[in-house]
Structure 1
Amino acid sequence: MASYIMRRLLIAIPVLIGVTIFNFIIINMAPGNPVEMFVNPDATPAQIELEKERMGLNDPMVIQYFRWMNSLLHGDLGYSYSTYEPVTQVLLERMGPTLLLMGLALFFGLLIAIPIGILSATKQYSKLDYATTGFSFLGISIPHFFLGLGAIYIFSVQLQLLPTGGMMTLGSGGGFVDRVEHLILPVFVLATGIAGKKIRYVRASMLDVLGQDYLRTARAKGLREFVVTNKHALKNALIPIITVIGLEIPLLIGGAVITEQVFQWPGMGLLTIQSIMSRDYPTLMAINLLTAVIVLVANFATDILYSVADPRIKNN
C-alpha cells in the first residue's frame, strides 16, 4: 500500500507544476488590463504605464511566473488587486461557506441517490424504476440557474417561506435557524443535480452485479434478499460508484460558481465571478491553483478507495 501511495504522489507533483504554468499563462493572456479597473478614470496613459511598472506587469511573463512561484513556495499568494487584502485571507474567508454548501449538497445528493439507485435496480422495469429514471433525467437536464431562479420565485417570492439569498439575514445575529433557512434552497439545487446523475450510475452498477452467479448461490443458500443486495452486491458495485463520487467533488466547485451567483452565497464561486469582472489576477490564480489541488486530492483519495475496495488494483 505504501508503494502504491508513493507512486500516486509522484505522478501528482509534475501534474500540479504543469497546472501552475498553464494557469499563469492563460490568466495573463486574458484581454483587458487590471490596472484600468481600479485607477482613477481620469488617469493618463503615462500614469497607467507607471502603475503597471510598479506592479511588475510590464516584466516578461517568465519573470512574472517565477516571481509568483517564489512567493507561492514561501506561502505568499500575493494581494488582491481589487480589495488590497492578502489573497490567503480572502480565500480563507470564502472557503468556509463554500465547503459548508458543497459538503451538505454532496451529502444529501448521495443520501438520495445511493438508496434510490439500489432500489431502482432491484425493482427493474417497475413503476418505481420508471419514476426514479424520470427524476434522474430531470435532475440532469434542468440547469442550476433555472432551477435556482424557479425555487426563489416559488419559495421566496410567492410563498415567502425562505430567503432569496445570502448566508444570513442582514442585521440579525446569524443564528442557527437563520443559517439553515438560507442554506435550504442552494443545497436543494446542487443536491438535485448530484442525485439526478448518481442515481443512474448506482442503478447501472448494481444491475451489473445483481446478475452474477455468486449472488444466485447466496440466494440458494437461503440468505435474505436484503443481505444479498446490501452486503454482497453493493460491496462489489462500489468501484464505479467511488469513481463518480470522487469526480463529483471537484465538479461541485464549477457548479457552485453558478449556484452561488444566483443565491449570492458568499463563497468561492461568487468570488470567482467577482475576480473575473475586476481582472483580479492574483485571486484568480489562487482560486485556480486551489481547484487544481482539490482535483488532485480527490483523484488521489479515489485511487486509495479503489485499492481498499479491490486489493488487486494496488498491484497494477
Structure 2
Amino acid sequence: MLKFILKKLAMMIPMLLVISLIVFVGLRSTGIDPITFMVPPEVQSQSPEIVDQLREELGLNDPLIVQYVRWLGDILHGDLGLTNKGESVADIIATRLPYTLELSAYAMLFSAVIGIGIGIISAIRQNGIVDYIGRVLAVLGQAVPQFLVGIVLIWIFSIKLGIFPAANRVSPDATNAFVDAFMHLFLPVLTLTIGMVAVLMRYARNTMLDVLNSDYIKTARSKGIPEWKVYMKHGFRNAMKPVLVILMYRIPALIGGSVVIESVFSYPGIGTTMANAVTSMDYNLVLVITLIIAAVMLICSFMVDVFNALLDPRVRLGE
C-alpha cells in the first residue's frame, strides 16, 4: 500500500509542472503586455525608456523558457511574487483562499446531507412522491446553469424580499459577526449546493437501487432481518462507497465553480480574485491561483485513488 501511495504522489509532481508550463506559455502567448496595466498611459507615451527599463528589470525580454524557469524557482523557494499593483501574492492568497474554502466546505456539507439523504429515500420509496419530486429537482438542478440560479436567488431573496444581502462577505457595520456572516453566505452556499445536490441525489438513488436488487440483500431479507437493518447495515453502507468517490471528485468542481459564483455575489474569495486577475492580465496572480486549483484537483484525485485502493486490493496491485 505504501508503494502505491508513493507512486501516486510521485506522479503528481510532473503533472503540476506540465499544467504550470501550459498556463505560463498560454498567458505569455496572448500578446498582451502586462506593462500596460502596471504603468499609467501618460508615462508610457512620455517616458518609453522607463517602460523599457521596467520590462528589462522584470525579465519580460527574456525567452519564455527562461522566464518560466525563473518563476518556477521562485515558487519552489516560497516566493510567490508580486501583483501588477505591487501587492504580495502570498498575502492575497492567505486572505482570500480561506473564504473560498469556507464557502466550498459549507456547500459540500449541505449537499452531501441533502443529496444523499433524498437519494436514499427515493430508492427505498421508489416511484413514491419523494422519488418523483427528487428526480424532477435533480434534472432541473443539473440543467440550469449555476450563475443563472444565483441571479434568480438574488432577485427573489435580495431584491424582492430583502432578506439576504446580495454581495460581500460581511457588513462593515455588523453588530453580530456570526449572524452577519451567515446572512452573506446563505445565497452563494445555496447556489453551489443546488447543483451538487442534483448530482449526488441521482447517483445515490441509482447506486442504492442497484444494491437493493443484489443477491445478498435478498438473502438478508430471507433470514428475517428487520427491514430497517437491511437498508442501513447492508444497503446504505455498500451504496455509499461509490457515492463518496463521486463526492471527492466534486471538491475540485466546487473550488473551480467558485470563480463564477463568487463573481455573481461579489464574494471576496479566490474565485473573484482570479476573475479580476484575468481581466487585468495579472500574470503572476493568475499563475499562482491556477496552480493552487490544479493542486487541489490532483490531491482530490489522489484521495480517490487511495480510497479505492483501500476498498479494492486489485486497484493497488495494478489489476
TM-score, reference length from structure 1: 0.95
8 Å Cα contact 2:108/2:193 also seen in 1? yes
Partner of 1:37: 37
Partner of 2:150: 148
Partner of 1:248: 250
Partner of 1:50: 53
- Cα deviation 1:176-209 (Å, max 9, x = unaligned): 1111110111000000110011111111111221
The 1:174/1:297 distance shift into structure 2, 3 A limit, reads farther
Q: Secondary structure at the match of 2:54?
A: helix
In the TM superposition, 1:90-109 aligns within 5 A as: 90-109=92-111
Partner of 1:85: 87
Cα distance in 1 for partners of 2:179, 2:62 equals 52
C-alpha deviation, 1:52, in angstroms? 1.7
What residue ranges of structure 1 are gaps of 5+ in the alignment? none
Partner of 1:62: 65
- Cα deviation 1:15-36 (Å, max 9, x = unaligned): 1221221121112212421110
- Cα deviation 1:34-93 (Å, max 9, x = unaligned): 1101311112254433322221111100100110111111011111113x1221111111
Cα distance in 2 for partners of 1:231, 1:32 equals 60
Cα distance in 1 for partners of 2:146, 2:265 equals 11
Which of 130, 133, 138 in structure 2 is aligned with 1:131?
Answer: 133
8 Å Cα contact 2:217/2:234 also seen in 1? yes
Cα distance in 2 for partners of 1:63, 1:216 equals 65
The 1:22/1:173 distance shift into structure 2, 3 A limit, reads farther
Q: What letter is aligned with 1:137?
A: V
8 Å Cα contact 2:112/2:197 also seen in 1? yes
Cα distance in 1 for partners of 2:175, 2:312 equals 49
- Cα deviation 1:123-154 (Å, max 9, x = unaligned): 22223211100011111112122111111111
- TM superposition outliers: structure 1 runs of 4+ over 6 Å: none
Partner of 2:15: 15
8 Å Cα contact 1:36/1:48 also seen in 2? no
What residue ranges of structure 2 are gaps of 5+ in the alignment? none
8 Å Cα contact 1:201/1:241 also seen in 2? yes
8 Å Cα contact 1:215/1:228 also seen in 2? yes
In the TM superposition, 1:1-316 aligns within 5 A as: 1-42=1-42, 43-44=44-45, 45-82=48-85, 84-172=86-174, 175-316=177-318
Q: What letter is aligned with 1:80?
A: T
Q: What letter is aligned with 2:82?
A: Y
- Cα deviation 1:210-249 (Å, max 9, x = unaligned): 1111110011111122221222123322342123112111
8 Å Cα contact 2:211/2:235 also seen in 1? yes
Q: What letter is aligned with 2:186?
A: I
Q: What letter is aligned with 2:56?
A: E
Q: What letter is aligned with 1:69?
A: L
The 1:58/1:15 distance shift into structure 2, 3 A limit, reads same
The 1:2/1:93 distance shift into structure 2, 3 A limit, reads same
Does 111-120 or 15-24 show the bigger shift? 15-24
Q: Secondary structure at the match of 2:170?
A: coil
C-alpha deviation, 1:287, in angstroms? 0.4
Cα distance in 1 for partners of 2:238, 2:26 equals 42
Cα distance in 2 for partners of 1:149, 1:133 equals 23
C-alpha deviation, 1:97, in angstroms? 0.6
Q: Secondary structure at the match of 2:217?
A: helix
Give the superposed CA RMSD: 1.5
8 Å Cα contact 1:260/1:270 also seen in 2? yes
Cα distance in 2 for partners of 1:241, 1:315 equals 23
8 Å Cα contact 1:242/1:305 also seen in 2? no
Cα distance in 1 for partners of 2:223, 2:148 equals 51
8 Å Cα contact 1:121/1:129 also seen in 2? yes
8 Å Cα contact 1:238/1:309 also seen in 2? no
TM-score, reference length from structure 2: 0.94
Q: What letter is aligned with 2:248?
A: G
Q: Secondary structure at the match of 2:41?
A: coil
Identity of aligned residues (%): 36
